[in-house]
Amino acid sequence: MELLEQWNRLLPAEREEFTRVVNRLLSCTFITRKNEENRRDYYFIERHEDLLRAYLKLGGWSLEGDRAFGVYRVFSDFAYNRLRLKLEESIIILILRLCYEEKRRQINVTENIMVTVREIQDKYAALKIRNRPIDKKTLRETMGLLKRFNILRVLDGEVTDPDCRLEVFPTILFALRVEDIRQVYEKLDTYRRAGAEEGREEETGAEELV
């Protein structure tokens, strides 16, 4: 009854916004105030957090927020609604998480964190997972996926250009089930030791985007 009462208190324009934001959340999983394109939606969620959480719960979805990092995320209570990542996608996300953690310690937490494609390729090479760089097709597809889920945005150029800059959002901290930088290193080391042979992109053992 409380859910219905809260809904009835919304103005018609707010109800339209509510419907739009719910659909946006379900399509991209993450909303962050660090992304200018998300800011309006982030503050709407913040104002109506209890109503949104109760509404989503009816459909088997959970809403979590971290106001310190300015992130909201929605995830299914059922495992079959989670996105299974390819192996290369998992590795790239872990490398981005590593870059983010390292840079976060160097700058003010309120500043945006920039990473270049060259930095990703350099770390990939240093890990010795494969004896070649990440190919262009994988870079384009993975960056497109991460942009869709509000994990980063491309600032300039083509993502296959080593000098292309990426703005990485704090949503990277919540994208995979890794608690700290130690676990990031452990997972990357697992992939390195496994050899990550050609053709294993679909193999069991890759991560799930949560």
> What is the rounded distance in angstroms from the CA atom of residue 90 to the CA atom of residue 68?
26
Q: 139: closest CA among 163, 165, 120?
A: 120
At 187, list the tokens. 């997972």
Mark 120-129 as b/e (b = at least 16 C-beta within 10 Å): beebbeebeb
The structure's pTM equals 0.85
Look at residue 188 in the predicted model and tell me its pLDDT.
72
Give 36-94 pLDDT, tens digit per residue.
999 999 999 999 999 999 999 999 999 999 999 999 999 998 877 778 888 889 889 99
At 171, list the tokens. 């949503």
Give 124-177 pLDDT, tens digit per residue.
998 887 778 999 999 999 999 999 999 999 999 899 999 999 999 999 999 887
Give 89-129 pLDDT, tens digit per residue.
988 999 999 999 889 888 765 578 999 999 999 999 988 87
pLDDT higher for 3 or 205? 3
CATH for the 83-209 domain, from 1.10.10, 3.40.50, 3.30.160, 3.30.70: 1.10.10
| 200 within 8 A of 87, measured Cβ to Cβ | yes
What region, left, alpha or beta, does residue 195 occupy, with left being phi > 0 and alpha being psi -120 to 50 degrees?
Answer: left
**pLDDT at residue 210 greater than cutoff 60:** yes
Q: Where are the beta strands (DSSP E) in 38-164?
A: 61-66, 71-76, 83-84, 113-116, 152-154
pLDDT higher for 202 or 94? 94
**pLDDT at residue 204 greater than cutoff 50:** no
- For residue 75, the cross-strand partners are 62
